[in-house]
Amino acid sequence: MTTRIPALALLASAALLFAAVAPAHAALDDAGGQALLKKSGCATCHKLDKKGVGPSIKDIAKKHKGSASAAADLKKSIRNGSTGVYGSDAMPAIPAKKLSDDKMNELVQWMLSK
């Protein structure tokens, strides 16, 4: 005799398993994004909605809107530094010891949501 698992029970089990292995962090809210911006040192040059030494977070998001490579491009600029993307200003690299890859991913997603 074989026992059949109802499809609904199987689906529910799969959903619970997925939830257990999904990333533990939720999307950053504005307060969390601003705190991470400050902790990483990025807030020294970047403000949320006005130009500082560097472009505002909202201007960065606007420039990358619709780009399939936006997240990858921003991560590369953060990790390696950049020059000439927003004029002649140079942005220093932010090392992993100051901003982990996980935190950088969160920060980039928050930036692009602006």
Long-range CB contacts for residues 9-12, cutoff 8 Å, separation at least 24:
none
- 81 touches 91 (CB < 8 A): yes
Task: Evaluate whether residue 83 is within a structural domain.
Answer: yes
Q: What is the pLDDT of residue 26?
A: 60
Task: Evaluate whether residue 54 is within a structural domain.
Answer: yes
Task: Evaluate whether residue 14 is within a structural domain.
Answer: no
Task: Evaluate whether residue 11 is within a structural domain.
Answer: no
The helix/strand/coil state of 52 is: coil
Tens digits of residue pLDDT in 30-81? 999 999 999 999 999 999 999 999 999 999 999 999 999 999 999 999 999 9
**Domains identified in the chain, total number:** 1
The separation between CA 95 and the C-alpha centre of its own chain, rounded to angstroms, equals 16
CATH number of the structural domain spanning residue 65: 1.10.760.10
Task: Evaluate whether residue 35 is within a structural domain.
Answer: yes
Task: Evaluate whether residue 15 is within a structural domain.
Answer: no
Q: What is the pLDDT of residue 5?
A: 59
Domain hosting 43: range is: 28-112
Dihedral sign, CA of 91, 78, 104, 110?
A: positive
Q: Output the pTM of the full model.
A: 0.74
- 25 touches 78 (CB < 8 A): no
Percent of the chain predicted with pLDDT > 70:
77
